[in-house]
């Protein structure tokens, strides 16, 4: 078990396309455990492997509220195989871009196909915050960040804020 540093905006790995996992072995299960630990430590609800510097198609999500038990979802090689025409808007942030938030419009519902960490295929539909978290994390596997999904104007404002924030640190 190990906590990992979270890679921040500016690191090229966040812009790379991650590679499919081929071996569902102990190393993968230990990676998944580390990712949950790192995500909980950072107080996040989702994390993708590139965010800890690994070009691997693995994501973890836990949307539980404080008073609830863990709802750990770990997906390997996840794919969005269908998305609704209906969209929804909600504010998003990202552990790799701390301090920045913006409203992002995305399909309201998606169907996802993936594998669990033991190599069993899983397929399900999601809506609401779960659909949003899935899309955000799967985007990370393709080098896409949430602010790529907002208008150019808003993106420029976010980048300005990020630059200013980074200079102050
Ligand atoms: Ni993110």
- pLDDT tens, 125-138? 999 999 999 999 99
List domains and CATH numbers for the chain.
12-168 (3.90.45.10)
Q: What is the pLDDT of residue 1?
A: 65
Tell me the CA–centroid distance for residue 166 and ligand 1, in Å: 18
Helix (H) or strand (E) holding 88: strand 87-92
Tell me the CA–centroid distance for residue 136 and ligand 1, in Å: 6
Q: Diameter of the chain by CA atoms?
A: 47
Q: What is the pLDDT of residue 67?
A: 73
| Of residues 158, 142, 64, 141, the one with CA closest to residue 103 | 158
**Residue 137 annotated among the catalytic residues of the structure:** yes
Check 92, 102, 109, 137 and give the catalytic one. 137
In degrees rounded to 5, what are phi and psi of residue 119? 95, 5
If pLDDT is split at 50, 70 and 90, which confidence band does 167 have?
confident
User: Is residue 94 helix, strand or coil?
Assistant: coil
Q: What is the pLDDT of residue 33?
A: 97
- pLDDT tens, 81-116? 999 999 999 999 999 999 999 999 999 999 999 999
Asked whether the predicted pLDDT for residue 124 surpasses 90, the reply is yes
Q: What is the pLDDT of residue 70?
A: 76
Q: How far is the C-alpha of 113 from the C-alpha of 122, rounded, in Å?
A: 6
If pLDDT is split at 50, 70 and 90, which confidence band does 69 have?
confident
Tell me the CA–centroid distance for residue 135 and ligand 1, in Å: 10
Asked whether the predicted pLDDT for residue 140 surpasses 70, the reply is yes
- pLDDT tens, 10-60? 999 999 999 999 999 999 999 999 999 999 999 999 999 999 999 999 999
Asked whether the predicted pLDDT for residue 64 surpasses 90, the reply is no
Tell me the CA–centroid distance for residue 62 and ligand 1, in Å: 13
If pLDDT is split at 50, 70 and 90, which confidence band does 63 have?
very high
Tell me the CA–centroid distance for residue 23 and ligand 1, in Å: 25
């Amino acid at each position: 078990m190990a906590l990992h540093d979270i890679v921040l905006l500016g690191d090229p790995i966040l812009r790379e396309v991650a590679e499919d996992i081929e071996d569902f072995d102990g190393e993968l299960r230990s990676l998944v455990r580390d990712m949950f630990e790192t995500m909980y430590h950072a107080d996040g609800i989702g994390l993708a492997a590139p965010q800890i510097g690994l070009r691997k198609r693995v994501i973890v999500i836990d949307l539980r509220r404080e008073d609830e038990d863990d709802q750990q979802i770990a997906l390997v090689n996840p794919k969005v195989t269908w998305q609704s025409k209906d969209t929804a808007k909600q504010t998003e942030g990202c552990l790799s871009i701390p301090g920045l938030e913006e409203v992002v419009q995305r399909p309201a519902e998606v169907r996802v196909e993936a594998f669990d960490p033991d190599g069993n295929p899983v397929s399900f539909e999601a809506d609401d915050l779960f659909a949003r978290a899935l899309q955000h994390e799967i985007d990370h596997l393709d080098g896409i960040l949430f602010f790529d999904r907002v208008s150019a104007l808003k993106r420029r404002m976010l980048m300005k804020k990020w630059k200013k924030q980074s200079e102050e640190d």
